[in-house]
Amino acid sequence: MEARPGQPAVVLLSGGLDSATTLAIAVDQGFQAHALSVDYGQRHRAELAAAARLAVALGAASHRVVRVDLRAIGGSALTADLPVPVNRDAPSMAAEIPITYVPARNTVLLALALGLAETLAAFDLFIGVNAVDYSGYPDCRPEFIAAFERLANLATQAGVESRGVFRIHAPLLHWSKEAIIRAGLRLGVDYGMTVSCYQADETGRACGQCDACLLRRAGFAAAGVTDPTRYVI
């Protein structure tokens, strides 16, 4: 999708590797990038602290944290009292959907981003979803992104009045983790500031065992660059 230099955009920023790269891409494309983090009661709160530092480091125009208590809904190891699966032989490329899936998460995240976009008169939303490494999540697929883009243009005052056309940018959608890391490094992302681990400790130290850690490690290895992550193991 084309850049719209100087235009405001909303960038979903979890504090992980993918969303940090996405923010760097939005800024590189010339957008005035307003970062939005969602505190949905996740276990890995170190991500939110990382998000705040990344927003500054990567040149975001602003950073907001919206609280949504998904714990009242439950259904995922990330927000409920279920064990996070660890120590599997390979990252979860399997057909089944991992239990770390949060019900309707990307739908909720994009809905909140859309609300902020309306307030800021922005028409560009960025989300760091990836259909390659996380093929198990239904809301990381191109058809989901396309359906949300269509919804956004029907759901909003600005869309109805044709003051602009909402675009959902998912620049990482078809990239491998290796390609994401290479792109981010070219744009100056300090991946030592990002937190991917599903159960990072309060200082941001990663478990080294969960699916997110395994994917991240494999990505740095494939890219042939040093992994700056602080792992417990």
Binding site for its own copies (CB under 8 A): 64-70, 72-75, 97, 101-108, 110-112, 114-116, 118-119, 138-139, 141, 143-144, 147-148, 150-152, 154-157, 159-160
Amino acid at 221: A
Q: How far apart are the first and last CA of the chain?
A: 40
Closer residue to its own copies in complex, CB, 103/188: 103
Q: Cβ closer to its own copies: 168 or 200?
A: 168
CB of 153 to its own copies, least distance (A): 9
* CA distances to 35, 85, 157, 166 from 162, in Å: 25, 46, 9, 10
In the complex, least distance from residue 82 CB atom to its own copies, rounded to whole angstroms: 12
Pairing label, strands 8-12, 124-126: parallel
Smallest separation, CB 188 to its own copies (Å):
28
Assigned token pair, 194: 């990002």
Q: DSSP for 124-181, please give it.
A: EEE----TTTTTT-GGGSHHHHHHHHHHHHHHSHHHHTTS---EEE-TTTT--HHHHH
Minimum distance of its own copies from residue 151's CB (angstroms) = 4
Nearer to its own copies, 6 or 67 (CB): 67
Cα separation, 115 vs 152, whole angstroms: 10
Tell me the closest approach of the beta carbon of residue 63 to its own copies, in angstroms: 11
What whole-number distance in Å separates Cα of residue 169 and Cα of residue 188?
20
Pick 7 or 135: Cβ nearer its own copies = 135
Q: Which is nearer to its own copies, 121 or 221 (CB)?
A: 121
For residues 1 and 65, which CB has a smaller minimum distance to its own copies in the complex? 65
Contacts of 154 (CB under 8 A, 6+ apart): 160
140-148 contact pairs (CB < 8 A, 24+): 140/106, 142/170, 142/173, 142/174, 144/106, 145/170, 145/173, 148/107, 148/110
CB of 76 to its own copies, least distance (A): 9
